[in-house]
Amino acid sequence: MKKFVCMVLCTVFVLGCFVFTGCVKNPDDTTGESTADGGDTEDTVTEEDTDINDGLPEVRYDGQSFRVLTQETAHVNDIYCEDHDTGNSIHDAVRARNIDIEERFGIDLMVEVDNFGSVNSKIDRMVKSGSDEFDLCFVHMVTGASRAIDNDFVPFEKLPYVDLSKPWWDRQIRNGFSIGSNLMMANGDISPTSFNITSCLYFNKTLFDRYDMEYPYELVRQGKWTLDKLYELTKDMTIDGDGDGVLDPKSQRDTYCMSTWFYDVPYSLYYGSGGMLVSKDENDMPYYDPNIERDSAIYQKIYNIIINNNAYFETNLSEFSNVAKVFFDGRALFYDAKLESSEDLREMDNEYGILPIPKFSELQNDYYSFVNGATSMVCVPVTCKDLERASVVIEALASGAYKTITPVLYETYLKRKVTRDADSADMIEYIVRNRVFDMGYVNLFDGIGSFVREMLTAKKTDVSYTFQKYKRKSQSDMEKLVESYKKSASS
């Protein structure tokens, strides 16, 4: 298996994760209840599920190279691996999947790795020159979206063997990335990176036991794990343990109801509650469509948990690592983070569990998980000359990841502190199978897309005023987005 690796700038990507830290929603719904077509989230993946046939033809490509361009990540590689097993379970699972695809279809996977900014520039140059250099690209969600709008990518509707109804593709991906019924970027099991940076909640089981509190697992299964319940559990749980009248996250005696980071928790709780900033018309064209009544109700619940209940809400970039440390040290009841954070908690003395992000209310159909904007998205450049072959290999990579890589990811999330906790294993299925995407988050990040973070940081409560402040610019930005797409599509 040949590999070509470019120089990478991991530091740039890590900083990007701080900057870019959605769910199908009825725009007329003002209470946060979802009408998403999400299915029954109580079903979990079984061994039989992973044996689903991908329905691909029995074809061989006589040693042809299948060329992949991917972004270097600080999380996990989506497709690149060394030519030998390393003992890293995820790496070795990626390698096993790749070898299987190579042998099955008689191809040679050629993977080029670069930092996320260079990946986008390379795609743009390739398209403009008309050169057929890559069959598949993994791009940064937010920065890659601009290339999609410029129609640098082939719509997935033109890839005959990619079946987006299969469980290895995100069910709600169209909401965030389809324009004019053309889906230019997709996601799912094919990107272990994206699973790693999916939002979730950790809870300290040792503290729950100390305070004689029931673990929330059954609430999740019964559809009763809500923001109201999280508020109830966190109320009066921030304690000035050293009695100096000051809550200090670096004090070894002060404890918090929740430890949170301002580039994570505003988005995870808002989108987990069914929040959405952009809707689609009958032609699948996006338009700015805020729902002030609904979003005010969502924000008030978030405000109660984070501000009124005195959660540790860190806004200083230099103190990012302390958010995890407070939970690791056993000084927070809950910790809002990403699935990959389980790696940082492996040596934690206290026992912990994993939960999905709470619903707005019990009327919401599903639990939704926010996906960090630094995630990888898969796309096919318009210069690709063999779309049938590309679609076969892409579908095989996705189904192979579902069967080979994702089970190893689950095991990794559950190592050490929750290995004996079958309940947390069930919870991961709730987390990864209803991941949400909002075109507003991707395209309006510097503005209304960050309104919850902005308001929590300033401890503001008037959502209506904030929405009015951004209304004209947000509408203009979305109109420009649609016009740019139409112009590019007709050229």
The pLDDT tens digits of the residues spanning 361-406 come to: 999 999 999 998 888 999 999 999 999 999 999 999 999 999 999 9
Calculate mean pLDDT across residues 421-428: 84
Identify the weakest region by mean pLDDT among 237-251, 354-368, 402-416.
402-416
Q: What tokens were used for 138?
A: 């993994």
Q: How confident is the model at residue 50 (pLDDT cuts 50, 70, 90)?
A: low
What structural domains and CATH numbers belong to the chain? 3-196+372-435 (3.40.190.10), 199-370+440-490 (3.40.190.10)
Task: Give pLDDT, residue 255.
Answer: 97
Region of 447 please: left (phi>0), alpha (psi -120 to 50) or beta: left
Q: How far is CA 52 from CA 49, 274, 410, in A?
A: 6, 30, 19
State the Cα–Cα distance between residues 182 and 174, nearest whole angstrom: 9
- What's the angle, vertex CA 270, arms to CA 326 and CA 255, rounded to 5? 20
State the DSSP H helix or E strand holding residue 199, giving kind and residue range, or none if neither.
strand 199-204
Q: Which residue has the higher pLDDT, 21 or 286?
A: 286
Instruction: Indicate if the pLDDT at residue 420 is higher than 80.
Output: no
Calculate mean pLDDT across residues 146-163: 91
Q: How confident is the model at residue 83 (pLDDT cuts 50, 70, 90)?
A: confident
Task: Give pLDDT, residue 75.
Answer: 63
Q: How many Cβ atoms from other residues are within 10 Å of residue 407's Cβ?
A: 15
Task: Give pLDDT, residue 142.
Answer: 85
Q: Which residue has the higher pLDDT, 442 or 233?
A: 233
**pLDDT tens digits along 314-328:** 999 999 999 999 999
Calculate mean pLDDT across residues 146-165: 91
Q: What tokens were used for 184?
A: 């230019």
Instruction: Indicate if the pLDDT at residue 2 is higher than 80.
Output: no
Percent of the chain at pLDDT > 70 equals 88
Instruction: Indicate if the pLDDT at residue 450 is higher than 60.
Output: yes
Q: What tokens were used for 45?
A: 């993946």
Identify the weakest region by mean pLDDT among 77-86, 141-150, 289-298, 404-413.
141-150
Residue with tokens 């030519």: 83
Q: How confident is the model at residue 8 (pLDDT cuts 50, 70, 90)?
A: very low
Q: What pTM does this model have?
A: 0.86
Q: How confident is the model at residue 36 (pLDDT cuts 50, 70, 90)?
A: very low
**pLDDT tens digits along 115-136:** 877 898 899 999 999 999 999 9
Q: Which residue has the higher pLDDT, 175 or 135?
A: 135
Contact assessment for residue 349 and residue 325, using Cβ atoms and an 8 Å cutoff = no
State the Cα–Cα distance between residues 393 and 158, nearest whole angstrom: 14
**Mean pLDDT, the chain, integer:** 87
Contact assessment for residue 195 and residue 212, using Cβ atoms and an 8 Å cutoff = no
Q: What are phi and psi of 490, to 5 degrees?
A: -90, -5
Q: What are phi and psi of 371, to 5 degrees?
A: -110, 120
Task: Give pLDDT, residue 356.
Answer: 97
Calculate mean pLDDT across residues 428-454: 90
Q: What tokens were used for 443?
A: 């395209």
Longest dimension (CA), the chain: 73
Identify the weakest region by mean pLDDT among 141-145, 301-305, 420-424.
420-424
Q: What tokens were used for 126?
A: 């390739």
Residue with tokens 């991917």: 70
